[in-house]
A = this chain, B = another copy of it.
């Protein structure tokens, strides 16, 4: 990136010339970009009756060629962008142009003279070729509309693989014409028709995104066996599981008819999903049904398998041959890594960089997921800091080249169509930058500054991650002012999946309309309070605008309590947050008192210290599936006042 002094104004004359290679995918992408630019600026651009030539175009787009017929990891996504007297965007492929168009939209700026693109010269290409988002539509189903709006958001941040987790103990989500009982009995009626699958795949391709389907085998497979119990390792009958976690249902690897069934199924799915990669899961087979099945035990003895890992490796080898027959490369989770695993299999690591490195050294291509589990409810900062190829793993260049990239994972236990966006975004945008940009791009403050803008802009694509919290809060107390609840929830974040399952575990049937569903991970207040407290503590006696800001926040915390209490009397669903409402009010009160002691240079009295200690302990606790996101700065502030 080289900045220059030029600028290109965006006004109603703004228009595009496409020179060089063109096709429908390119013109549609350009058209979408123009419409978004209109929406952001409120300016209606003049429609051209004839194509513009470069002399009259503010944006000149030049693609060399279409790119791959079926997009793959070898796709050239690079582009060059120059903003001078006009904007010139050049790329070898249509996909490269799409990446560049998103950069153009990110560059839009404004001052009193109006909207404009600032002078700049950019040469850009991705660090990793596999930049994915996994969406689990099995624990909770997500409609085509939800998938498509997330594809739009992925394209906006240059992610290029939708890893679509389509089968699970809790649901089988694709129509099978060959084995119709899969979707008919395994989905509660919540599945994608094959037409819908084709629509989504085409929608993704139109945005330069690959779709890699995952059908999890041999375990996580209860929903298959509701309709086809004959392929399981236990007699059944099986039901769609409602509880989350590891279930026992597992394919029987010892019988040829099982592979014939899988072959038939994959043969049906292979053309539906044109991507060359096909994910077979392979995780968390607990082996209980294998252990309990005498015939399988006998089979293992015959084959000389020492353990269930060997049995699963055998299953994977046969699976790999089936995939090969259908011209697919196999992808699976960590567990499939085994000395007998063919080298052309891609290993997706949910166990971490070390496990990934182990696979790469063994000659396998790899994808990292471990640090990008969104249900861990970590901060954007945390995910941003996790590199797929940290120096610490010390891979030789040839091994390092086998690390294709990474995937953000949105597992579906605790998300609905209404809340899923707020779990995926904006955090995934930070990871997308980690996958695309150099490992040296690491300025967290700058990342958050840009993230707050990008997050809002993503909603123009139909996402609801910024809107859903207030929606849910309004519905908890219909007709009432939600101000007190907004204040309370803004200081809280949802606990992670483990925490969610420890207390009052949710199932697929639990309504996800509670305060903890309105709370968002890594809320803005976390960073705001941390920054203000840090500045204050640097010189408590000094004045400054940040003091008023911090005081204002603490006042709001105190004032939410009577409001929340009144709302809880009307709405029993609010009642579970009363302890946290009280704690937040106390944090506000003691925060103000601490500021007072520190500013005056006086020492807090002994009983105040005791109360502060008790409050910090109390507020640290998780309740109503939420925890305070502001404990770190509040601990620092209160401890500073009781040295």
Instruction: Please give, as numbers and ranges, the residues of chain B lying within 8 Å of A573 by CB-CB distance.
Output: 40-42
Closest beta carbon of chain B to A147's beta carbon, Å: 12
Rounded to whole angstroms, the CA-CA distance of A510 and B130 in the bound complex is: 38
Tell me whether A57 is interfacial, beta carbon within 8 Å: no
Which of the residues B452, B464, B510 comes within 8 Å of A44, measured between beta carbons? B510
Residue in chain B with minimal CB distance to A28? B189
Instruction: Please give, as numbers and ranges, the residues of chain B lying within 8 Å of A35 by CB-CB distance.
Output: 511
Closest beta carbon of chain B to A510's beta carbon, Å: 5
Q: Are B471 and A453 in contact (CB under 8 A)?
A: no
Interface residues in A460-479 by Cβ distance below 8 A to B read 460, 462, 464, 466-467, 470-471, 474-475, 478-479
Instruction: Please give, as numbers and ranges, the residues of chain B lying within 8 Å of A417 by CB-CB distance.
Output: 462
Which of the residues B111, B145, B457, B475 comes within 8 Å of A145, measured between beta carbons? B145
Of A290-298, A353-361, A564-572, the one with at least 4 CB within 8 A of chain B: A564-572
Interface residues in A412-467 by Cβ distance below 8 A to B read 417, 449, 452-457, 459-460, 462, 464, 466-467
Tell me whether A55 is interfacial, beta carbon within 8 Å: no
Instruction: Please give, as numbers and ranges, the residues of chain B lying within 8 Å of A572 by CB-CB distance.
Output: 41, 110, 112, 114-115
Rounded to whole angstroms, the CA-CA distance of A145 and B507 in the bound complex is: 27
Most buried by B among A464, A569, A571, A573: A573
Interface residues in A218-249 by Cβ distance below 8 A to B read none
Report how many copies the assembly holds: 2
Rounded to whole angstroms, the CA-CA distance of A449 and B460 in the bound complex is: 33
Which of the residues B110, B474, B513, B570 comes within 8 Å of A571, measured between beta carbons? B110
Residue in chain B with minimal CB distance to A38? B511
Instruction: Please give, as numbers and ranges, the residues of chain B lying within 8 Å of A41 by CB-CB distance.
Output: 511, 572-573
Closest beta carbon of chain B to A7's beta carbon, Å: 14
Which of the residues B44, B455, B479 comes within 8 Å of A456, measured between beta carbons? B479
Instruction: Please give, as numbers and ranges, the residues of chain B lying within 8 Å of A306 by CB-CB distance.
Output: none
Rounded to whole angstroms, the CA-CA distance of A112 and B455 in the bound complex is: 39
Interface residues in A562-620 by Cβ distance below 8 A to B read 569-573
Instruction: Please give, as numbers and ranges, the residues of chain B lying within 8 Å of A511 by CB-CB distance.
Output: 35, 38-39, 41-44
Q: Are B459 and A466 in contact (CB under 8 A)?
A: no
Which of the residues B145, B467, B509, B513 comes within 8 Å of A471, measured between beta carbons? B467
Rounded to whole angstroms, the CA-CA distance of A454 and B474 in the bound complex is: 11
Residue in chain B with minimal CB distance to A144? B145
Rounded to whole angstroms, the CA-CA distance of A384 and B572 in the bound complex is: 33
Instruction: Please give, as numbers and ranges, the residues of chain B lying within 8 Å of A39 by CB-CB distance.
Output: 475, 511, 513
Tell me whether A514 is interfacial, beta carbon within 8 Å: yes
Rounded to whole angstroms, the CA-CA distance of A136 and B569 in the bound complex is: 43
Closest beta carbon of chain B to A189's beta carbon, Å: 10
Instruction: Please give, as numbers and ranges, the residues of chain B lying within 8 Å of A459 by CB-CB distance.
Output: 471, 474-475
Rounded to whole angstroms, the CA-CA distance of A509 and B46 in the bound complex is: 9
Q: A507-521 vs B: 1/0 string, CB under 8 Å?
A: 101110110000000
Q: Are B466 and A453 in contact (CB under 8 A)?
A: no
Q: A202-214 vs B: 1/0 string, CB under 8 Å?
A: 0000000000000
Closest beta carbon of chain B to A110's beta carbon, Å: 5
Interface residues in A493-519 by Cβ distance below 8 A to B read 507, 509-511, 513-514
Instruction: Please give, as numbers and ranges, the residues of chain B lying within 8 Å of A471 by CB-CB distance.
Output: 459, 466-467
Q: Are B509 and A44 in contact (CB under 8 A)?
A: yes
Interface residues in A101-160 by Cβ distance below 8 A to B read 110-112, 114-115, 143, 145
Instruction: Please give, as numbers and ranges, the residues of chain B lying within 8 Å of A115 by CB-CB distance.
Output: 572
Q: Are A479 and B453 in contact (CB under 8 A)?
A: yes
Instruction: Please give, as numbers and ranges, the residues of chain B lying within 8 Å of A509 by CB-CB distance.
Output: 44, 47
Closest beta carbon of chain B to A499's beta carbon, Å: 18
Residue in chain B with minimal CB distance to A43? B511
Rounded to whole angstroms, the CA-CA distance of A44 and B506 in the bound complex is: 9
Closest beta carbon of chain B to A192's beta carbon, Å: 14
Q: Are A453 and B478 in contact (CB under 8 A)?
A: yes
Most buried by B among A41, A110, A453: A110
Closest beta carbon of chain B to A84's beta carbon, Å: 22
Instruction: Please give, as numbers and ranges, the residues of chain B lying within 8 Å of A457 by CB-CB distance.
Output: 475, 478
Interface residues in A627-643 by Cβ distance below 8 A to B read none
Instruction: Please give, as numbers and ranges, the residues of chain B lying within 8 Å of A570 by CB-CB distance.
Output: 110
The list of the 10 closest CB pairs from A to B, nearest first, reads A456-B478, A453-B479, A452-B479, A38-B511, A42-B573, A453-B478, A467-B467, A39-B513, A456-B474, A39-B511
Interface pairs (29), CB distance under 8 Å: A35-B511, A39-B513, A40-B475, A40-B513, A40-B573, A41-B572, A41-B573, A42-B511, A43-B511, A44-B507, A44-B509, A110-B572, A111-B569, A114-B572, A143-B145, A417-B462, A452-B478, A453-B479, A454-B478, A456-B474, A456-B475, A457-B475, A457-B478, A459-B474, A460-B475, A466-B471, A467-B467, A467-B470, A467-B471
Q: A110-B571, A464-B467 are in contact. List 7 more A-B contacts (CB 8 A).
A: A40-B573, A41-B511, A42-B514, A44-B511, A449-B479, A466-B471, A467-B470
